[in-house]
Structure 1
C-alpha cells in the first residue's frame, strides 16, 4: 500500500544521500578544504540529508543554502526560516536556465541502442512524435550505445536550438526533429495558490552578523531561564552581544580571575608555582573535583598542581585553597586595576554551595562534605520547599556575578597577552585548553580536534562556558562567553545542547564569513 511505497522512496533517497555524503567526504580528504554539494532542496533542507550525513562522518562545519526565485520588481521575498541556514535570492526566470528533454530510456541485452520506455509526459519532447518502444538509431547522425552518453549529448543544447533523431518504430525508420522551444506559459487560473506553510515567514536579515543574532535569539527564545552571550572575533573585531551586560552567577568560571591573580603574584615574586600546600580534612570541600575523595591525612600539593586541578576538573577544594592563598580582595583589586568592570568575586566554592543549600557558612564551613550533605538531605525531608526557597534567596544575591561582555574582555586580554607578561598569559591559555569539564557545551558540536581554551561553571540553575575558540585554516579566534541563570526545570543535558548549538552557530559563521 501507500506506506510501502513511501518506505521505498524514503530508502531510495536515504541511499542517495549516503552516496553523496561519502563522495563529499572523500573530496575533502583529498586536500580540498571546502566542498560545495549541489543537490535538490529535498536532500539538504531541515538538516536531514547530505549535509547532516557529511557532518556525522567528519564533524566539519557546514552551511545549507537554498535558492528561491524573487519576482521581478520586488526587492525582497518572505521565506520560511526553517528551510536552511541561508536563503539565496535569484531573479525569477520565465523558464529554467537549461532545457529538460523528458525522454525515459532503457537498454536491452539484445539491442545496441537505447529504447524509449514511455511516451514523453514532460520536457521539450512532450507533444513531439516520440512513442513507447521507439529505438533511437542515432542523434544528429551519431549512434549511441550508452544512455548516459546520450543524456550528456542532449544536455549541451540551449533554448532555441534543435537536434535530429533517427528512430525505428514497428520496423520502419522515421526522423523526428526536436526543437528546444520554451514551454508555454501556464494560465494563471491553473496555478495552485494554497500551499501548506511549514513555518512562519520572516524577512531574512541582510547583514551577516544580524543573521547570526537572529539564529541565536531564536535558539534561546521561550526557554526556562535567561542566557547572556558575548561573541567577538578577535582578529576582525566583529562583535555580537545578547543580554551581555546583564549579571549572571559566575559559578566555577570565577576560577579564571583567581588564576589571573595567581599568575600575577607569581610574576611579582609573592609566591611560586612550586610552593607546596598541606591539605587537612577541613580543606576538602563540597562540589566538583577529585580532592574531596581523598580522606587520608598527609596530602601535600604544589600550587602548580592545585591550579591544574582547579582549571581542568574544576576542583572546588583546590580553588578554595588557592583563593585563600592569594586573597579574594586581591582578585577584585586586580580586575579593577586592569580596567575590567562587571566581574565580582567574593566567596569560596564552599560558601557559595552552602548559600545555595540555605546553610549558615560559619556553622558548617569546616564540616566534612559528607556531613553537610547529610544535614541538607535531612532538611529536605522535613521541608520539601526548603531547597526552592534557598535557591530563590541565592538568585537575588548580587555577589559573585559577571556580565558576559566583561568575561569576554578578560578572555581577550589574556589572549592578546596584555593583561600580564606574555609567558604568564600563555600559561593561562595552555591550562584552559586542558579543560576536561563541559564536553557537551562549547565543544559539544564543534569539529573533532577543535582547540578551545575555556572554563565551565555550574551552580543552582546556571550553566556557563566561557573561552576562546581556535578556528582552523587561518580563520582566527573567537572569544565566546555563554552564561545562564534560572534554568531550574530543563534537563542539564538540554541546556548543554543549547550551549553547544550556540557555539556551532558561532563557529560556522566566523569560519565561513
Structure 2
C-alpha cells in the first residue's frame, strides 16, 4: 500500500496536466466567442485591382471614336458587343441635364455584391444629418467586427481607433467590408432597408444583397441633385469617398483621366459590376450590373461600354 507521502507526490505530478488542459479549453472558448460575425453578406469575394490597357486621355485632347452616333446605333453597338459574351448584363445610362435615359435589363434584379454599400453609407449619413449619428465619434477596432474580403481594416491591429468619418471613406475608397459592417450595425439594417423601400427601390434588398441598374442609378442621380443630403459637406464626403478608389478598372477606364467619376464596384462569383456618376460638363449616371459572366470578358467589355456612353454624351452638346 502506498503511504500518504507517495499519494501526495502523485497528485502533485498530475496537477500541471489538468491545469494545462483547463487553460487550453478556456483559451479556446475565449477565441471562439470573439470570432468575427460572418452573417453580414456584402462582399462575396475580395475585390481585385486590374490594369486597363487603354490610355485615359485628357478630356481637352479627347477624340471621340464614335461620332454622330444615334441612340439606336449606340444601343445596337452595345448589344452587338455583348451578344457573344457569357452571362447577363443590365445597364442604364441617365443624362442629368435633360433626363434622357437609355438602357437594357435595367429593371432586372441582379446580385449587388459591394454596390449595396452605397445605400448603407447613404442611410448612415442621413442619420448624421438628423443628429442621430456623429462622424467624429471614435470607433475601436474589435475582432468581432472584422469581415473577410476587401478593405484595409482587416490588416490593422485590434484596438486601433478611427472616426466614423474614416469608416465612411474606407467603405468607398477600399470597399472595406469591416467598415461597412460597422456602419450598417450603427445605422441599423431595418432602417437602411426602410430607406431603400421608401424610395421604391423594389429590386434592392440589403439582406439578400440584390439591386437593379435603375434602383442604383436613380439613387445616385438624386444624390447629385441634392434630393438626399441637405448638408453639402455630407454630400461631398460621399462623393469624395467614391472618387479615385482602389478599383478604377471599369467605368472610369472608359472616361478621360481628368474627369471625376464617382462610383462603386461590386465583385462576386461571376459578378463584376460598377455603378456611378460621371461629373463632366454633361454629367450622367451609368450603372452596369452583371451575373454569370466571364471575368476576362467583363473587364474588357465594361470599359468599352463606358467609352461608348461617354462618346455619345460628349457629342450631344447640351
Same fold? TM cut 0.5: yes
Across the aligned residues of Structure 1 and Structure 2, the Cα RMSD in angstroms comes to 2.1
1:447 aligned residue: 256
Rounded to whole Å, the distance in 1 between the matches of 2:67 and 2:199 is 41
SS at match of 2:254: coil
Q: 1:496 to 1:272 in 2, by over 3 A?
A: same
1:305 aligned residue: 166
2:285 aligned residue: 479
1:497 corresponds, among 270, 295, 300, to 300
2:199 is aligned with 1:338: yes
Once the two structures are superposed, the pairs formed by residues 93-492 of structure 1 within 5 Å of their partners are 208-294=70-156, 296-346=157-207, 399-423=208-232, 424-437=234-247, 439-471=248-280, 474=281, 476-487=282-293, 490=294, 492=295
Structure 1 residue 86, shift from structure 2 partner: 6.0
Structure 1 residue 339, shift from structure 2 partner: 3.7
Is the CA contact (8 Å cut-off) linking 1:274 and 1:304 kept in structure 2? yes
1:44 aligned residue: none
Consecutive unaligned residues of structure 1, counting only runs of 5 or more, are 1-54, 65-84, 88-206, 347-398
Structure 1 residue 404, shift from structure 2 partner: 0.4
Q: 1:270 to 1:512 in 2, by over 3 A?
A: same
Rounded to whole Å, the distance in 1 between the matches of 2:161 and 2:228 is 31
Q: 1:297 to 1:422 in 2, by over 3 A?
A: closer
Structure 1 residue 331, shift from structure 2 partner: 0.6
Is the CA contact (8 Å cut-off) linking 1:417 and 1:426 kept in structure 2? no
Structure 1 residue 426, shift from structure 2 partner: 3.3
Rounded to whole Å, the distance in 1 between the matches of 2:143 and 2:209 is 26
* Bigger helix fraction: 2
Is the CA contact (8 Å cut-off) linking 1:258 and 1:331 kept in structure 2? yes
Q: Paired residues, what number? A: 261
Is the CA contact (8 Å cut-off) linking 2:95 and 2:283 kept in structure 1? yes
2:34 aligned residue: none
Consecutive unaligned residues of structure 2, counting only runs of 5 or more, are 1-54
Q: 1:278 to 1:215 in 2, by over 3 A?
A: same
TM-score (norm 1): 0.49
Structure 1 residue 57, shift from structure 2 partner: 6.8
Structure 1 residue 430, shift from structure 2 partner: 2.6
Is the CA contact (8 Å cut-off) linking 1:277 and 1:301 kept in structure 2? yes
Deviations along 1:186-231, one digit per CA (max 9) or x if unpaired, are: xxxxxxxxxxxxxxxxxxxxx8111111111111112111010010
Structure 1 residue 56, shift from structure 2 partner: 7.8
Larger radius of gyration: 1
Structure 1 residue 297, shift from structure 2 partner: 2.8
2:28 aligned residue: none
Structure 1 residue 434, shift from structure 2 partner: 3.9
Structure 1 residue 318, shift from structure 2 partner: 0.8
Deviations along 1:59-113, one digit per CA (max 9) or x if unpaired, are: 744345xxxxxxxxxxxxxxxxxxxx469xxxxxxxxxxxxxxxxxxxxxxxxxx
Structure 1 residue 242, shift from structure 2 partner: 0.5
Rounded to whole Å, the distance in 2 between the matches of 1:58 and 1:267 is 37
Deviations along 1:451-506, one digit per CA (max 9) or x if unpaired, are: 101111101111111000122xx3x111000110112xx2x343122111111000
Is the CA contact (8 Å cut-off) linking 1:241 and 1:405 kept in structure 2? no
Deviations along 1:337-391, one digit per CA (max 9) or x if unpaired, are: 2343321101xxxxxxxxxxxxxxxxxxxxxxxxxxxxxxxxxxxxxxxxxxxxx
SS at match of 2:251: coil
Is the CA contact (8 Å cut-off) linking 1:291 and 1:315 kept in structure 2? yes
SS at match of 1:443: helix
Rounded to whole Å, the distance in 1 between the matches of 2:199 and 2:236 is 18
TM-score (norm 2): 0.77
Rounded to whole Å, the distance in 1 between the matches of 2:57 and 2:271 is 33
Is the CA contact (8 Å cut-off) linking 1:250 and 1:402 kept in structure 2? yes
Q: 1:58 to 1:320 in 2, by over 3 A?
A: closer
Rounded to whole Å, the distance in 1 between the matches of 2:88 and 2:158 is 43
Rounded to whole Å, the distance in 2 between the matches of 1:229 and 1:456 is 14
Is the CA contact (8 Å cut-off) linking 1:224 and 1:486 kept in structure 2? yes
